[in-house]
Each structure stands twice: as structure tokens, then as C-alpha cells.
Amino acid sequence: MHLSNMHRIQWFDQQIRESRYPNSSQLAEKFEISKRQAQRDIEYMNITLRAPLAYIAKHRGYMYEEQTYILPHLYMTEDEKRILQFLIHRYRQYDYDNADAANRVAYLLERFTDAEDDSSHNRLPVFEFNPKLMQTVLLLSDAMKTERAVDILYEGERLHIFPVKFESRYNIDYIVSYCEQNQKQRMLRLGAIEQIEIAEQSKRNNGVMPVKAYPIDEPWRPIQQPFTAKIQLMQQPGPSWGGFTARPAANSSDLYEIEFYDTEAFLRHLMTSSWSALLAPKWLREKLHARCGSIMNRLNGEEDE
């Protein structure tokens, strides 16, 4: 069922509850649709949604024979609204192929949810929806609201951070944070946060820290198409691998194609995750080899070449 149909049915339901006895002509006029389409909406309510509709000839309109009837699956809970708001933000920020269509989807979702264009949307990230990631986002949002620190396990490193804002770059979702360990701002990939909890008795000092006071070293430039790595994995990753889109390669049970935009972020993920073989691309293998060689040199007390 399309969102426009749901909006019309909600209006029709409200008219009945206000004893206005709506009919197909009024529905068609209200939403500028054909009377035939309006009648199909009423039939959908009656047959599919099992609405106890009764036509009252005296009033030339409909009413419910049972006043306790409630439309199923049309009224959203707060959690459902929050998820739709995430989707609105996702489509708003989409800036790649078919961006105009994505923006139109955001507009339609916003009308359906009656979402207001307020500052809270600036705190909604772009991310693939899964329960663990949403829980991470909710905890970070609460920490930002209360100006508290969080303790996280990030790519094998334990950090004590103050989250500042969500941001999306290269089609990857980040939390911009002030890290106490190195006294600077860092962009941390949401999908790489393995554990998170709000720290006790750890509020920021001296008020709100200005974001621009801690510049980010990483340059940003839009990338239209993702890079693709062919990796042999030890376990089936599902639709994503640590936040990176993953899909099975043809004719193989353990070979996957992993999409990434940010090379540095993906290299860090390769350094901390479990995998069997990196088959392609060659330039990524060379970068990883050089990175590992540099680490080995430092462990042996040697200088990098």
C-alpha cells in the first residue's frame, strides 16, 4: 500500500470519527483523485483492513458499525517514527546517482510522518538499519543531549570520547567526537564501534566544545562510485561487513565483494578484523602490505624506508 493511500485512509477514518459521514465524492475532491480511485480506497478499508463500514443513506456517507474499531498498521509508534526520520535523513543526504528521486522520497516520507524541519534532524545519521547500530546511535544521541562521555571499543582500541555530531562521508556514517586520549577531534565509523556505554560522572568541562576548534585532518571530496575489494572471509558476514556493504561473489561460498569509499577507513578495518585472503584490488593489497611493513619496522626498532 502506498503512503498516499494511507494518508487518504487516515483522513477518511478521522472524518468518520468526527461523525461527518464521508463518501467517495468527498474523498476524491479532497485529494484530487478520481471517484473510482476513491471508491477503491473505501473498498480497501472494508475488505483488507476489515473496517466495519456502513453506508447511511440519510447522510449519504459512511460510519462505523463498531465504534471501537481501530485502523491496523497505520498508526506509528514513537520507535517507528524515529526509524522513518532516520530514513528521511538518509534520503535527504543522498548525493550520488538518482539524487533527485531520493530527495523526492525524503519529501514524501516527511509528509507522511509530519516530521518538522528542526535541528534534531542534524543529529540523525545516514546508516543501514540494524538493531545493534540503532542502539549505538541512540546511546550516542543521548550522550550528546546530556553532554556526557561514552566509553567505546573501537577497532580493538578502548576510547573515552565526547560525541559531538553525526556525519556522513563517502557514503559511510561517522560520529564526530572529542577524544580525551589524544586531546583532539576524531571521526569514528559507526559500524566499527564494537561496544559502547555511557560513562559515569563524566560531563564536559567549560561548557560546549566548539566543533571547529578541533579540525579534522582527513580531506573530503565526493566520490561517485565505490571501490570494490574481493575478500575471502572466515564467516558469512550478511549484508554488511563491519559497516561496509558485502555481497557474495559468484561461484564461491566464502568469497565476497566488499564496497568502500574511504580507503583509510577500510584499511583500518582490515587491520583489526578477521579474514582469510585479500584478492583484489592490487593497489589495496600494496597499501596494506606497506602499512603492515611499517608496523613491523617500528616493532623491530627500525625506521621506515
Task: Reduce the secondary structure of 36-97 to three states and give it as a string.
Answer: HHHHHHHHHHHHCCCCCEEEECCCCEEEECCCCCCCCCCCCCHHHHHHHHHHHHHHHHCCCC
Q: What is the pLDDT of residue 24?
A: 94
Enumerate residues 6+ apart whose C-beta is below 8 A from 212: none
Do 14 and 80 fall within a single domain? no
Distance, CA of 228 to CA of 104 (rounded, Å) = 29
- CATH number of the domain to which 146 belongs: 2.30.30.100
Give the three-class secondary structure for 117. coil
Number of domains observed in the structure of the chain = 4
Do 215 and 253 fall within a single domain? no
Residue 123 has pLDDT above 50, yes or no: no
Do 196 and 239 fall within a single domain? no
Residue 147 DSSP label: T
Among residues 169, 187, 222, the one where a domain terminates is: 222
Distance, CA of 152 to CA of 197 (rounded, Å) = 7
Query: Can you read off the three cell numbers belonging to residue 205?
Result: 568541562
Do 197 and 240 fall within a single domain? no
Do 217 and 139 fall within a single domain? yes
Q: What is the pLDDT of residue 128?
A: 45
pLDDT tens digits, 127-136: 444 567 777 8
Do 115 and 136 fall within a single domain? no
Band of pLDDT at residue 3, cut at 50, 70 and 90: low
What is the residue range of 23's domain? 3-64
Enumerate residues 6+ apart whose C-beta is below 8 A from 282: none
Q: What is the pLDDT of residue 120?
A: 41
For Cα atoms 136, 137, 139, give the angle at the middle one, nearest 5 degrees. Answer: 65
Do 105 and 36 fall within a single domain? no
Higher-confidence residue of 236 and 232: namely 232
Distance, CA of 222 to CA of 302 (rounded, Å) = 37
Among residues 194, 222, 250, the one where a domain terminates is: 222
Give 207's strand partners: none
Domain membership flag for residue 108? yes
Average pLDDT across the chain, whole number: 77
Do 90 and 153 fall within a single domain? no
Give 231's strand partners: 256, 278
- CATH number of the domain to which 30 belongs: 1.10.10.10
Q: What is the pLDDT of residue 251?
A: 78
**Ramachandran sector of residue 73 (left: φ over 0; alpha: ψ -120 to 50; beta: rest):** left
Distance, CA of 75 to CA of 80 (rounded, Å) = 9
Q: What is the pLDDT of residue 146?
A: 83
Q: What is the pLDDT of residue 216?
A: 45
Domain membership flag for residue 69? no
pLDDT tens digits, 60-102: 999 999 888 887 655 556 666 666 677 777 666 665 555 666 6
Residue 203 has pLDDT above 80, yes or no: no
Give the three-class secondary structure for 102. helix
Distance, CA of 56 to CA of 18 (rounded, Å) = 15
Residue 47 has pLDDT above 50, yes or no: yes
Question: What is this structure's pTM?
Answer: 0.40
Residue 207 has pLDDT above 50, yes or no: no
Domain membership flag for residue 71? no
Distance, first Cα to last Cα, the chain:
62
Rounded percentage of the chain residues whose pLDDT exceeds 90: 25
Domain membership flag for residue 305? no
pLDDT tens digits, 273-300: 889 999 999 999 999 999 898 888 888 8
What are phi and psi for residue 32, nearest 5 degrees?
Answer: 55, 50
Query: Residue for cell digits 530514513?
Result: 87
For Cα atoms 290, 259, 222, give the angle at the middle one, nearest 5 degrees. Answer: 90
Higher-confidence residue of 304 and 174: namely 174
Q: What is the pLDDT of residue 244?
A: 82
Q: What is the pLDDT of residue 213?
A: 40
Q: What is the pLDDT of residue 219?
A: 43
Give 259's strand partners: 228
